[in-house]
Amino acid sequence: MARTEILSAPALIPEAIRFSVIAVMVRVAFGTFGWDSVRPATLTRMPAGESAVMWTVPGAARR
């Protein structure tokens, strides 16, 4: 197999399969997230710096 064929291998995966895998990963992420960590009662007990980091890291990661 030539080097160019290896580099273009992701193009061979149909988009439907790729999107379904992404959907499963998102579903698992939502299912395993600790939702009680973002309750207002929990956030008021946490130090302000920790709450600020918790909210800014995902925003910074998207950029």
The pLDDT tens digits along the chain (63 residues) read 555 555 555 666 677 788 889 999 999 988 888 888 778 888 788 888 888 888 888 777 766
Which one-letter DSSP state was computed for residue 8?
A: T
State the Cα–Cα distance between residues 44 and 33, nearest whole angstrom.
19
pLDDT of the residue at 24: 94
**Domain boundaries in the chain?**
36-63
Give the DSSP H or E segment for 15: helix 15-32
